[in-house]
Structure 1
Amino acid sequence: MRTAGGGLREHHKARRRSRILDATRELLRECPETVLSTERIAARAEVSPATVYNLIGPREKIWEALADGFMDELECRLADLSTGDPREVVRSTVRLFVGDPVVSRRMVRGWEESGLVLDRSPLGRLRRAMADARAQGVLRADVDTEALAAVVSAACVGALHQWVAALVDDDRFLARALFALDVALAAAAADPYREQLSAPLRTRNTL
């Protein structure tokens, strides 16, 4: 059984960890190409370098911690949605990335450099949304929604990396991610929904 003192200690640890991550984001926004050091992060967060190490880990772990915060926010946004529409999963994910572009771009590059494998990603939500669409008869019963979501996810990751490299702007990033999804949905549509799910492809501007 958790004691009141233990609960309070955990609360204080969570607050310090939040301050550390906020300080990291501030430093990245002020100087996007800065080399993050434990000392700089600690000074900005007004904690000791040892606290940063104890609550976050080595410097390379900062990207994992930022990714966890990103997924926490995304899951909150998706939980607030009144629908499990796969398009809303993709749209909400893209909007979260472009809402804080400097931090998002460094975070993605940090993932690549560190070889980090994320325990949580939007793919899980997309899989569930696809499975729900199949259960509701929107997608054909024979569709492998796991494979379908994986294909869409790979295309969205490609669009993300183009955005990170500044090869496409925010609007084009969203358009390409939704295009990949719409192609998949149209291909997997059950007969009663084929016209509806194919419509976005006929009206879409050239990417």
Structure 2
Amino acid sequence: MRTTEGGLRERHKAQRRRRILDATRELLRDEPESVPSAERIAERAAVAPATVYNLIGPREKIWEALAAGFMDQLEDRLAGLDADDPREVVGSTVRLFVDDPVVSRRMVRGWEESGLVFDRGPLVQLRGAMAHARAHGLLREDIDTDALAAVVATSCVGALHQWVAGLIDDGRFLARALFALDVALAAAAADPHRDRLLAPLRTRGGAR
């Protein structure tokens, strides 16, 4: 009985946290340049201000909470897809950003301003997918898949910042991220799979 009650409390806690994060996103959509106060978030989420402090923390923790929520959503998406496919990891991450552009752009700027360091992120997922590709013979055995994933991630972050600044649209954001991945995969391809991994580059001819 005690275990059941504890599980119920945790579910209610998770539900309140989701409501708080949803309320925060709504407020950011309303006023993208502001940082919502705990009181405004609490009012929108229909919880007490103390609940916001208990489940999220002080105001400066908002960006950290949104980062965690972003990764929760990404992991949920990948759980229903082929998370061992690097293209699924990159594509799903980009689409998650562009699905909610107002919040995403403000969130990324908030991450930069706060100097937030993530304890989890898409790079972890991408490393796993790259390692899976090497283990199944798609990539050469001598390839350092962690380094390969880091190179792709750096290019994707560059595309993200261009998108946040409004220099490229959603389609180009996705195209540039996938182009960086396809170049890396083609360069690291094992001989039996080289033509297949080169095919996206040959058909696309590059990303502008």
**Coarse TM-score class (shorter-chain normalised):** over 0.9
Aligned to 1:26: 26
Residue 174 of structure 1: aligned partner: 174
Deviations 1:73-121 (A, max 9, x none): 1111111114621111101110111011111111111111111111110
Q: Which residue in the other structure is 1:163 paired with? A: 163
Unaligned runs of 5+ in 2: none
CA distance in 1: counterparts of 2:11 and 2:82, whole angstroms? 31
Over aligned residues, Cα RMSD in angstroms?
A: 1.5
- Equivalent position amino acid for 1:56 in 2: I
Matching of residue 183 in structure 1 with residue 183 in structure 2: yes
Matches of 1:9 and 1:192, distance apart in 2: 53
State the number of aligned residues.
Answer: 207
Q: Which residue of 2 aligns with 1:147?
A: 147
Q: 2: CA distance between counterparts of 1:67 and 1:2?
A: 32
CA offsets per residue over residues 128-181 of structure 1, 9 Å max, x none?
111111111111110010100010011101111111111110000001101110
Contact 2:64–2:116 (8 Å) recurs in 1: yes
The CA distance in 1 between the partners of 2:136 and 2:13, in whole Å, is 44
1:20-99 map, 5 Å = 20-82=20-82, 84-99=84-99
**Separation in 2 of the partners of 1:26 and 1:83?**
29
**Residue matched to 1:126:** 126
When normalised by structure 1's length, the TM-score is: 0.94
SS at match of 1:139: coil
Unaligned residue ranges in structure 1 (runs of 5+):
none
Measure the CA separation in 2 of the matches of 1:83 and 1:107.
25
Letter in 2 for 1:188: A
The alpha-carbon deviation at position 34 of structure 1 amounts to 2.4
- Percent sequence identity over matched residues? 78
SS at match of 2:89: helix
Structure 2 Cα separation of the partners of residues 48 and 92 of structure 1: 34
Cα shift at 1:206: 4.4
Q: Conserved in 1, the CA contact under 8 Å of 2:63 and 2:111?
A: yes
Q: How far apart are residue 2 of structure 1 and its match?
A: 4.9
Question: What is the CA–CA distance in structure 2 between the aligned matches of 1:87 and 1:22, rounded to whole Å?
Answer: 28
Which amino acid in structure 2 is aligned with residue 138 of structure 1?
L
Residue type of the partner of 1:136? H
1:17 CA displacement:
1.4
- Look up the SS of the partner of 1:60 in the other structure: helix
AA in 2 matched with 1:4: T
SS in 2 for 1:36: coil
Q: 1:39 to 1:7 in 2, by over 3 A?
A: same
The answer to whether the 8 Å contact 2:42/2:49 transfers is: yes
Amino acid corresponding to residue 44 of structure 2 in structure 1? R
Query: Is 1:200 the equivalent of 2:200?
Result: yes
